[in-house]
Each structure stands twice: as C-alpha cells, then as structure tokens.
Structure 1
C-alpha cells in the first residue's frame, strides 16, 4: 500500500506461476490444540488454507474449535495450551515462534477483529491514541502529523463520520456499530493481508450488522484484503463468503464453495446445521381464536429511568397491546428501542411511570404492593443469558425450587407446600423441559448452553404462570440448540395455553414462533399486525429496512435482498 495513505489504494491478488494456485496466506496443517486438565483436543487435526483476496467462512457450533483455531493463528492462546502441527502465516511458521517473530506477523501480515469491541478497546485512551500506538509499532518512521493523518484516513475508510473530530473521543462516546468499525480500523492500521474476524456482528442489530458486512466486502474488493470470518450465523455466511469450512468437535467435516454448501451439502452434520436455521419461508402460526379475555392488557405504558437529580426522556411512550391465552406476541426493534424495558416494567424491574397494566383482569396500580407481588407471580421470565441467570453455586434443582421457597404467598400461588412436594415439583418441571429428573443435583457448569436455558424455562414455569416473558431466549445459542428451544416453547405453550411476550431482534425466529408482532423504534410502536403481514409486506420504511437487513441463509436469495437493501440505502 502506498506510504501516502489508503485513499484509492488496492492490493492486487497474488498470482502464482502460470497454471498453479497462488501461495496461501494462511496455511494450517494437522493443527492440534489441547488445554491443561482437558482429556480431549479442542482442535484435532485441522488443516486449511486461505488464499490472497479470498473470503472464507469458518462455521460450527460452540466448542467446534473455530475461535481456538483463529487464536492459535496469531499465537494468542493461553500459556496452558499445548499446540502441535504447523501454522504458516504469510510464509512464517508461528507454532512455537519467538515473541519477536509473532509481533512481526501480528498486524503486518494478519490481524484479528474480535467479537466484543468494548473489550477490545482501552476505555481510558482516545481512539487516536489506540490506533496511533499500532502505527508507532509498525510504522515507526511516521511523524506525529503523518500518524494523525493516517488515523483519520483509517476512520474515514471504515465510515466514521467527522473523523477528524471524533478521533479524539473515548470509546464510550461511540455506538456499538461505530465501535466495531473502529476495531476494524485498528486491525487495518498496519495494512495486513489477512483479517481474522471472530463473530464480528454477533452483538449488533441487523441494520448495523449489514453495514459492517458491507464494509468488510468493500475492504476485500478495494484493498484486496483476505478475510476469514468465524460465525455461527448462516445468513452472514450466505451474504459474504465465497468458500465455507464446517467444523465439529475440533475437526473439519466439510469444505465447499458457498453455493454448493447451501444447495448440496455433502455431510449429514452440515445438512442438520442448515435445516435448523430459520429462514423466513415457514408461515407464521395463525392467531388463536378470539373469545377469551386477554391475560395481559397494556394501555399507554410509559417507562422512565429518571433520578432525583435529573429529568430524562421516556424510554417507552404510549405503548398499548394485549396478549390472549395461547398467543405469542413478538416484539422486535433495535437496541434502545424499549423492548426489554417493557418486559422488565411488567415484572417491576423497571419503573412503570404511566399507563395501566392489567394481568388476568387485575390492574396493578389499583392494588397494594403485596398484592402486586402475588399478581406478578403469575408471570414467568426467561432471560437472554442461560449462564448469567443461574447461580453457579446452586444446583439446578435448587435454582428451580427457589421461587417455590421464596415466600409463603408464592407457595400459595403455586399450590406447592413442603420440601417433599417441592422436590417432586422440581422433578416434574425438569421432565417437562426434557431433562432427566436425576439431574437436579447437577450444577450449571456441568450443562451445555441449551440445557441451561431449559433449566431457565423450568424455573420460569415453577409458579404455573399465565404469562411468559422471553427476552432474547435463543440469541446466545447455536442454531441447532435454538431450534430445540423454540420447539420446546411451542410445546409448553400448547400444553399450558400460556400467553407469551417474545422479545427478539431475530426476525426469522419471530416469524417461526409468533402469531403477531410489534415493531418498536425509539420507545414507540411504529407497526403492528399479524406476523406474516408485517414481516412479508411491511408498510413502514423502518420495518422495511429491518427486514432487508436480515441476511437470508441462501446465497442467491440474499444477493437479491442485498441489491434491494443497497437501493433503499442509496435512496435514503
């Protein structure tokens, strides 16, 4: 790349000798990684190559070895990792390489974009200082003014507005999407030939995700940067990748061009993985028949986190909806739209500062606080993180039993009294979520993510609620586990005739599960209706933007959707 800067710079794809393929930028052979205290290998005999100018997706479920392989590539594994085999990055062997040699490879030949941009950036250093530190290491001949100019060029390249001014800001002044762009700029600072992107869009809203994917595509076409993207999102794979490597339990099970993998996967595991991905083609469930009184009635709801020292705007304004027995209402929108605040306010975990809420016909504001607690005992809550919502020091049986023991009025609500009856109820709840009753003595760390979420659902059902609130209950799960949890929620709702408020940013999950949907933006409802109508024929421009930003797990269909997305973005 020219010393003068990034504008207009391109890196021509490497050419091999006539009739031969170019040398691989990344050449991994027979890689094995094992951690101290572990009987098995986290990576077991992986061999793969990434070539100049290529975009490769590495996919698989949690524990498949995706991230361990990427970390091994740059020598970033912890000290207790035993690594064997060969990893050549730009022709340099990095297995057992000296720190000085690794530092030459990192940044200059290959760089990494991590999943969590907040954790990747120093909160007490400006963006200019952090990118400048990389330039000082890898471009020591640059003067202070040249270095600042390069920082601004990098920020402009990744789409940060007002880059000259914003370069002096700290990370907390940027949105999540902007932080991910800054992390990409940081990775590009030393002009690497290869970017390793580890779940770079997982924590982002779909509209921001699509912008980041478009940025990566532009970097590849404009600079010739090769990209290896690690993801569990098959829509992202269909949108961006040209070749796909599928890992399972530390081993490669299939490698194929992206179109062939989606249309004719060779391995049963790949077929199972693709079959579990919701793709928006299944019709939404029909609305339950009218006639029953709603379980939940919300009128003109307002939520405000005001303090004694400052007046703040409402985070939720004028929200009204009802949910009937057997109905699942989806609530979608980007971060900050007010989705979770609504769910938390119904449980008394966020300040309900206006409007009325009726649960099973009883208005919360008209009864005492003790009676409010009894009424709210009829609401079950399933949280986003199955790990964070369970006490690691309690067995799963104790976690499920806790709401049954917490107070006498809750026991009266559930109809369960006495230790023996509670143990029997815990066993029944475990069996209802398809876990063995004998597992009640196990601890959360002994269970998989999907099994922990089943425990969370069992606990939410402990007090026999009429209303279930599920706040992003599948976003932390692999696609196959996600499908199992969605099937479980359908079965439980059918058995118990539960009303369900399902909060999610995943439009395909909402379409497969929810009878009707609300679209929120800025704390207000901007569109509502039957799920099929809203998501297939959206009326509001914002809803249309949301739908077009959700990548389809089909390369051809996604190419058409991306064209429409680009047209809408240009017109906007």
Structure 2
C-alpha cells in the first residue's frame, strides 16, 4: 500500500474473551508531523487501540499500515525495522524504567540494541555513548548528572522526561503518547506538554496523543477523534471542536471541560 500517511488504521476490532468489544471498527489516518488526539472516558477503548497498534494486543479484525507497510503481513525479519519507526510513552514512567539500571543504561537501550540506526540529529556523536546520552538529556532539559542516578532518585516529571528522551532517541516517525501527563502534578503537566510540542516541531515527529483530558488533547492536537464504547463517534479539526454539529458525546465532554 503506497501512502503519504505515517499511520493508517482500517476497520480495526478487538474483542476480549469476556465478550467485551474494546475496539469496534475503528478507522483513521495520521499524516507526517501531525498530532491526532484521541479522547474518551475510561473504558472507551483508546488505550486498547494503542496496544493493538503497538502489537501488545492481538487484533481480531482490520489492518494497520505504518509508513505504507502492513504490520500484519510483513515478514518477521522486516517487522523489527518497521517497528523502530514507532515508539511509545506511557502514563507511568516509573514502570517504564528498570529500577536496577542507572538512567543512562535505560535511556540508551534503543540505540544500544539497534546499532545500525543513525538518527540525523545525532550526527557525529551517535557512537559516542556518553555524548549521545548528554545530548538526549539536553533535548528534554535534564542535567547530565541525572544520567548516573537510579529511577527512585528522580521525580515523576524527571522520569517522564527520561522516557520521552528515550522515545525520540532513534528518531521514530511516530510516538504514541498514552496519558503521558496523567500521573504528574498539574504544575508539571503543562511543562511536559510544552516539551512535547517543542520536540515535535524540532524533530518532525507525528504523535498519537491519547487522553481523557480534553484540555490537554485540544492543546496538543491538530485533529481530535472522540471514542465511546470502542467506537469513533466524532472526528474533527481542533478548531471545529466547538461547532454546533459536534456529536452529543463530544458536547458532553466539552461541558465537563468548560465547567
């Protein structure tokens, strides 16, 4: 499939053994350097959708293409290189960092395991481990001294900056941000969102931004997709979110957001 889109999802469905259909015939496209926000209440299916794209959940029906290549029909030996185009930042940064490893070792894992990847923004220092780590920390506004700390010695916001730095380290085309600020203090949330925006503009990465927080989704996204009970019930440009023809559920979320 030849496409200019970074990610194409068509008719995706996922049903759990209990009979609950967590994702029901979901389709969307995500262009390069674009941020698509996915919003919905807990249980709407947005995080299950992310897990399906990441390959953490088996898909029952539908297709996923990343940069024009099917994630279901590609041979295993090719799949690893394709998936290097996709990274994720989860809600809980502590769970994403090995407590027994120094931060520098967790940070450098993607680059250590994929020595053939040569990110353009690491030109000249890619194979100088400490310089690379220091530069990656510079991009997320962290002092280099934290590279030699352990996760428990960092705050929640600092740990999330580490996971963001690790996600961008191999210069992916797409980062899935699954509730990236939900576990952080309100004062830290805005700083992390601003950092993510700056990184997107500087590195040209596409984002799939998943949250129950409509304010955060509206701030981050170019387009917004609303999910309810596993289905997409609304989709619009962020500037059209307040138009009269929005779905009733979108209006409910807006009422909570404005209230």
Q: Contact 1:400/1:458 (CA < 8 Å) preserved in 2?
A: yes
Q: Which whole-Å CA distance do the structure 2 matches of 1:524 and 1:512 have between them? A: 23
Q: Which whole-Å CA distance do the structure 1 matches of 2:23 and 2:226 have between them? A: 13
Selected match of 1:333 from 17, 37, 40: 40
Query: What does the per-residue CA deviation read over 1:13-58, in whole Å, with 9 as the maximum and x for residues that have no partner?
Result: xxxxxxxxxxxxxxxxxxxxxxxxxxxxxxxxxxxxxxxxxxxxxx
**Superposition TM-score, scaled by structure 2 size:** 0.90
Q: Which whole-Å CA distance do the structure 2 matches of 1:435 and 1:442 have between them? A: 12
Local SS of the residue matching 1:367: coil
Query: What does the per-residue CA deviation read over 1:420-443, in whole Å, with 9 as the maximum and x for residues that have no partner?
Result: 533332222111111122321011
Partner of 2:131: 424
Selected match of 1:463 from 130, 148, 170: 170
Q: Which whole-Å CA distance do the structure 2 matches of 1:391 and 1:538 have between them? A: 47
Say whether 1:293 aligns with 2:32.
no
Q: Flag structure 2 segments of 5+ consecutive residues without an equivalent.
A: none
Local SS of the residue matching 2:32: coil
Query: Residues 510 and 424 of structure 1: is their aligned pair in 2 closer, same or farther, counting only changes over 3 Å?
Result: same
**Mapping of residues 35-50 of structure 1, within 5 Å:** none
Local SS of the residue matching 1:323: strand
Q: Which whole-Å CA distance do the structure 2 matches of 1:473 and 1:513 have between them? A: 12
Aligned length: 253
Q: Contact 2:126/2:132 (CA < 8 Å) preserved in 1?
A: no
Q: Which whole-Å CA distance do the structure 2 matches of 1:378 and 1:402 have between them? A: 15
Query: Residues 500 and 419 of structure 1: is their aligned pair in 2 closer, same or farther, counting only changes over 3 Å?
Result: closer
Q: Contact 2:118/2:126 (CA < 8 Å) preserved in 1?
A: no
Selected match of 2:254 from 532, 535, 547: 547
Query: Residues 535 and 336 of structure 1: is their aligned pair in 2 closer, same or farther, counting only changes over 3 Å?
Result: farther
Local SS of the residue matching 2:81: helix
Partner of 1:473: 180
Q: Which whole-Å CA distance do the structure 1 matches of 2:37 and 2:189 have between them? A: 16
Query: Residues 480 and 536 of structure 1: is their aligned pair in 2 closer, same or farther, counting only changes over 3 Å?
Result: farther
Selected match of 2:209 from 502, 506, 521: 502
Partner of 1:442: 149
Higher relative contact order (CA 8 A, sep 6+): 2
Deviation at 1:495, TM superposition (A): 0.8
Deviation at 1:444, TM superposition (A): 1.5
Query: Residues 425 and 352 of structure 1: is their aligned pair in 2 closer, same or farther, counting only changes over 3 Å?
Result: farther
Larger-Rg structure? 1
Query: Residues 480 and 546 of structure 1: is their aligned pair in 2 closer, same or farther, counting only changes over 3 Å?
Result: same
Local SS of the residue matching 1:527: strand
Partner of 2:193: 486
Deviation at 1:466, TM superposition (A): 0.4
Q: Which whole-Å CA distance do the structure 2 matches of 1:535 and 1:335 have between them? A: 22
Partner of 1:190: none
Deviation at 1:534, TM superposition (A): 2.4
Query: Residues 321 and 530 of structure 1: is their aligned pair in 2 closer, same or farther, counting only changes over 3 Å?
Result: same
Query: What does the per-residue CA deviation read over 1:509-536, in whole Å, with 9 as the maximum and x for residues that have no partner?
Result: 1111111111001111000011231255
Q: Which whole-Å CA distance do the structure 2 matches of 1:331 and 1:389 have between them? A: 22
What CA RMSD, in Å, does the superposition of the two structures yield over aligned residues?
Answer: 2.1
**Mapping of residues 61-100 of structure 1, within 5 Å:** none
Q: Contact 1:511/1:535 (CA < 8 Å) preserved in 2?
A: no
Query: What does the per-residue CA deviation read over 1:311-349, in whole Å, with 9 as the maximum and x for residues that have no partner?
Result: 734311211111111111000111111101111111111
Deviation at 1:383, TM superposition (A): 0.7
Local SS of the residue matching 2:49: helix
Selected match of 1:319 from 26, 50, 72: 26
Query: Residues 319 and 326 of structure 1: is their aligned pair in 2 closer, same or farther, counting only changes over 3 Å?
Result: same
Query: What does the per-residue CA deviation read over 1:125-148, in whole Å, with 9 as the maximum and x for residues that have no partner?
Result: xxxxxxxxxxxxxxxxxxxxxxxx
Deviation at 1:302, TM superposition (A): 1.5
Partner of 2:115: 411
Deviation at 1:462, TM superposition (A): 1.9
Query: Residues 538 and 532 of structure 1: is their aligned pair in 2 closer, same or farther, counting only changes over 3 Å?
Result: farther
Local SS of the residue matching 1:474: coil
Query: What does the per-residue CA deviation read over 1:523-551, in whole Å, with 9 as the maximum and x for residues that have no partner?
Result: 1100001123125546211111122123x
**Superposition TM-score, scaled by structure 1 size:** 0.42
Q: Which whole-Å CA distance do the structure 2 matches of 1:341 and 1:335 have between them? A: 11
Q: Which whole-Å CA distance do the structure 1 matches of 2:204 and 2:155 have between them? A: 28
Q: Which whole-Å CA distance do the structure 2 matches of 1:489 and 1:444 have between them? A: 21
